A and B are shown apart, each in its own frame.
Chain A
Amino acid sequence: MSFLAITNVNKSFGGPAVVNDVSLDVPRGEFFALLGPSGCGKTTLLRMIAGFETPDSGTIAIDGEVMNAVPPNLRPTNMVFQSYAIFPHLNVFDNIAYGLRKLKLPKNALRAKVETMLATVRLEGLGGRAADQLSGGQRQRVALARALVREPKILLLDEPLGALDKRLREVMQLELRAIQRKIGITFVLVTHDQEEALSLSDRVAVMEGGKILQVATPRTLYERPASRAVADFIGEMNFFHATVREIGETATVNAGVLGILSLPAANLAPGIKVGDHILLAIRPEHVGFAASGVAGEIATSTFLGERSHFHVRLPGRSEPVAVSGHAPPSGAVHVVFPPEKLIGLPV
């Protein structure tokens, strides 16, 4: 059994399923992200791991022990709440020391432990600060320190960076990653920000409507999304309807306006057979401009600095093709679709 084993977990609050038959396995020491749109059940799943909600069915086990009947205060997990939930009546030091009462440490040892943690989250010297005199970033660090100081087996983070501005968020992302590397605790991060999930985590589970769509490394999610829903959620992608003609070493597909194309058979999602109707998908940055290819017309172009983003209109297709690249010479262009970058998904 893996370190964190979630098996066929279901949860509803009297209405439709909020978490629908979810199974996940997270090995020890992994930085794992739950990614999905608002309301897809990420927080509910996280709260079930923490013990604040009980699954209707299924089991949650940590390090070999089934947790379903264990109350939150006895679980080897700690949580960084989205609102941070810093105790307003305690100063920074007492907030961090809150969870250490049961250890009955002598005063010096307690102080040393808290000071070390303050240093880890780079809040040295702020122990005496009142809770209401902290900036957003500092509150976030206190919440992190308060959870980490208990040395949990798993740290749960519910959109920990959501309340911070963009610059601070980027700084904190790097720090979170560095802290996780340094202490080696398993992190489970909930976020609806795909960039955050992809840049921070070892693996990401993409959720929608209470179900897990795909669990994979960030690179795999980006390069080989398993379905249109995942592809749509992770960055931008162009889709073309196509029919499979032949599958061998390479697969041959009839892709309408793009013509007949050959692509590596490994680029087709598992289960696709000859004759199937499929979606060919390609990222904007993989579509190229060339001297010859599919003729089109640039409809819009947006200058983004190093690169530009274009919408290219192809004859016989209503939806423009998104292309990310360098400026082509004029309005009439030819676009090419490198076969090794095309992937085939079920419709």
Chain B
Amino acid sequence: MKNKTLTLYALAYLAFLYVPVLVLPIFSFNDSQFIAFPLSGFTTRWYAGLAADSAMQHALINSLKVGLTTALLSTLLGLMAAKAVTRYRMRGTGAIMAFISLPLFIPDIVLGISLVLLLGTVGLPLSLAAVVLGHLLVCVPFSLTVLVARFEGFDKNLEEASADLGEGSWMTFWRVTFPLMLPGIIASLLLTFITSFDEFLVAYFLSGTEATLPIYIWGQLRFPERLPMVLALGATILTVSVALVVLAEYVRNLGVKKPMVGA
């Protein structure tokens, strides 16, 4: 009896999670501009429309630029901060971690407004670069969390062993730290890229005249006739995201077979 209830609950929960997501691909192939059942036939014209929409492509390229830059910078900064926090004996490590993580708890809208004010005060133009700066604030804490966990997962004697065997700090990084951190680095890149790619509020405030993809989509919602195309775009993003996650998992398992502890 109890098990049955649980099973039902689990099914309902899964449906709640995934039915809305499934609506996307289903209606993106539906031959009608109205989002309603019954379905009226199969078409790929919304996708064809997407391929021809140069404003959308421009926004997509903007988002990719911002996402990649943010992911790389945030992971690089996260890597250095994580190394400092875990490898050097410093005073105030806890306070540093707390300060870096603080933006996580500031609502994005507050962050967006303050950044607009700040940029205005120092006279910097709103631009994609400004969006990257805003996204860094949001993303570095993610990178740091992922990478600190990874650094703590391996014996610092391994880096000392490398020095003992004649390698300076740079080669030690390349021959020991980097390969052992790689799964964490990939996870950080992926996480920060996706965070930046679908971030709306901060980008909305900071992007100026250049739209990122979420801003473009938001703009399209005013035109009901363009809704199926937005669905097609959503379905595409969904597919690519899933593919990326699967790929990252695959790469991660290629690199390392076992959890890594030095002993």
Contacts and interface: CB of A to CB of B under 8 A. Distances in A.
A85 B161 contact: yes
A305 B180 CA distance: 52
A74 B165 CA distance: 9
B101 to A, nearest CB: 28
Contacts of B165: 73, 78, 98-99, 146-147, 150
A50 B258 contact: no
Contact of B160 (A85, A88, A147, A150): A85
Interface string B160-187: 1111111110010001100110000000
Contacts of B164: 50, 72-73, 77-79, 99, 147
Interface string A85-104: 11111000000001101100
B155 A102 contact: no
Interface residues of B, number: 26
Nearest to A143: B161
Contact of B262 (A86, A99, A101): A86
Interface string A122-161: 0000000010100000000000001100100000000000
Interface in B148-168: 154-155, 157-158, 160-168
Contact of B157 (A71, A83, A163): A83
B262 A88 contact: yes
Nearest to B157: A85
B166 A102 contact: yes
B117 interface: no
A84 interface: yes
Contacts, number: 75
B102 interface: no
A89 B180 contact: yes
Given A98-B175, A132-B258, A163-B263, A87 B163 contact: no
Contact of A83 (B167, B179, B262): B262
A81 interface: yes
Given A85-B262, A87-B176, A150-B166, A130 B257 contact: yes
Given A87-B158, A98-B175, A72 B163 contact: yes
A52 interface: yes
Contact of B263 (A50, A78, A83): A83
Interface string A37-74: 00000000000001110000000000000000001111
A98 B263 CA distance: 18
Nearest to B154: A88
Contact of A73 (B163, B176, B257, B260): B163
A89 B179 contact: yes
Contacts of B175: 98
A147 B164 CA distance: 9
B250 to A, nearest CB: 17
A52 B261 CA distance: 21
B8 interface: no
Given A78-B165, A79-B164, A150-B165, A88 B157 contact: no
5 contacts: A73-B163, A81-B160, A88-B180, A130-B257, A163-B263
Given A81-B157, A86-B262, A98-B175, 7 more contacts: A71-B163, A73-B168, A79-B161, A83-B262, A88-B154, A99-B167, A146-B165
